[in-house]
Chains A and B, each alone.
Chain A
Amino acid sequence: MAEEFVRTIAGRDITFRPAKPAQMTAFYRVRNRQIQELEKLRGAESTTETLVAIHDLYERFEQNELNLFTSLLVNKDDMDFLDDVMVRGELTLADLVGSLFGNTEEAPDDVEPAPKQPKKAAKQGKLPKTANVRRVQK
């Protein structure tokens, strides 16, 4: 079984249990559905109803994040502490979730690992036959 881990948030050490794959899968499924709904609402005519629907969607979005976060807390009284910190405006929900799952706003760039040079060729200072480099004719 995966071990509990500690994160320091707003100066306090808080213990979490790792999220289960099913929990994370369910969370991302809801999130994807909400993003689809949001796209649909943004494409629709801007009326009071659509604005209210977008607002409700954001609220549900945040509520789900909070539910997931809370379910991973080992000591429930830590939530009271975090509530106080959030009420004082020192921490937002996004900060809280980001501190646990990392900031997922920007995905990392794809990186293609460079092919390794064969040892022998590298030693002799020669390029490997397969290297995609044109030799300069003297």
Chain B
Amino acid sequence: MSAVSRSDRLYVTGLGRLWTVDNPNALPWIHAALSPDMAGVFPGMVVDAEQELFELLMSHPEANVRCQRMARVALGRAAGREWHWAHNMIKEAVGSWTHLNGKLVREGVRASDTSLPDWLDAAWTVFMELFDKKEQMSFQNRLRSIPATGDMVQPRMSSRADLMSFAAD
């Protein structure tokens, strides 16, 4: 079991305020994480303040870039891991969806009623069982790789270690 707390809401700060992000189960995260610029996560999964967010996006010169950063932070917090690890894992999973989802469903793990961290754990184990040693190493490297595009500002509190130390405080 992942050490991350499960909550149906999470919070990110940006553009001068705190935003509430919906955190229901893995399925919306899978869709949202693969949307262009991760706009499906932020602003897509923000629960309230639609009008305010829209007006900010129309007027703030850096709003789009900052939305993308907040989307990464939100994905990292929902997954309880580095955002890019979760993003890569989701990409791998969607690339082999029929096989992976079939296996997971047979084991009783459905993306629509499993939290994102649990679903990522389950998907990871399916891949690891599928691969030999060499393929496992290559798979792990692919998961750790940071996407080449976009700015690479590391969001605060996105790693498991950061979250653990925060929880300990």
The answer to whether A22 touches B42 (Cβ under 8 A) is yes
Q: Tell me if B36 counts as interface (CB < 8 A to partner A).
A: yes
The answer to whether A25 touches B64 (Cβ under 8 A) is no
Interface string of B37-53 (1 = CB under 8 A from A): 10110111010001101
Given A21-B37, A21-B39, A67-B58: A26 and B53 interface contact (C-beta under 8 Å) = yes
- B108 vs chain A, min Cβ distance (A): 33
Residues of A within 8 A of B39 (CB): 20-22, 24-25
Interface string of A58-99 (1 = CB under 8 A from B): 001000100110110000000000000000000000000000
Q: Tell me if B55 counts as interface (CB < 8 A to partner A).
A: yes
Q: Tell me if A23 counts as interface (CB < 8 A to partner B).
A: yes
Residues of B within 8 A of A23 (CB): 57-58, 64
Q: Tell me if B96 counts as interface (CB < 8 A to partner A).
A: no
A33 to B47 CA separation, bound complex (whole angstroms): 11
Q: Tell me if B54 counts as interface (CB < 8 A to partner A).
A: yes
Q: Tell me if A29 counts as interface (CB < 8 A to partner B).
A: yes
Interface string of B67-111 (1 = CB under 8 A from A): 110000000000000000000000000000000000000000000
Which residue of A20, A21, A29, A67 contacts B50 across the interface (Cβ within 8 Å)?
A29
Q: Tell me if B136 counts as interface (CB < 8 A to partner A).
A: no
The answer to whether A68 touches B67 (Cβ under 8 A) is no
- A43 vs chain B, min Cβ distance (A): 21
Given A20-B37, A22-B39, A25-B43: A68 and B58 interface contact (C-beta under 8 Å) = yes
Q: Tell me if A30 counts as interface (CB < 8 A to partner B).
A: yes
Interface bin, chain A? 10 to 19
Instruction: In the A-B complex, list the 10 residue pairs whose CB atoms are closest, starting with the nearest.
Output: A21-B39, A22-B67, A21-B36, A25-B39, A20-B64, A26-B54, A22-B39, A21-B37, A30-B50, A26-B43
Is chain B's binding surface mostly helix, strand, loop or mixed?
Answer: helix
Interface string of B8-40 (1 = CB under 8 A from A): 000000000000000000000000000111011
Q: List 5 A-B contacts (CB under 8 A).
A: A22-B57, A22-B67, A22-B68, A29-B50, A33-B50
Q: Tell me if B122 counts as interface (CB < 8 A to partner A).
A: no
- B63 vs chain A, min Cβ distance (A): 7
Q: Which residue of A lies closest to B40 (CB)?
A: A25
Q: Tell me if A16 counts as interface (CB < 8 A to partner B).
A: no
Q: Which residue of B lies closest to A71 (CB)?
A: B58
Given A21-B36, A22-B63, A23-B64: A29 and B58 interface contact (C-beta under 8 Å) = no
A118 to B55 CA separation, bound complex (whole angstroms): 54
The answer to whether A26 touches B57 (Cβ under 8 A) is yes
Q: Which residue of B lies closest to A60 (CB)?
A: B51
Residues of A within 8 A of B53 (CB): 26, 29
- B32 vs chain A, min Cβ distance (A): 10
A64 to B68 CA separation, bound complex (whole angstroms): 22
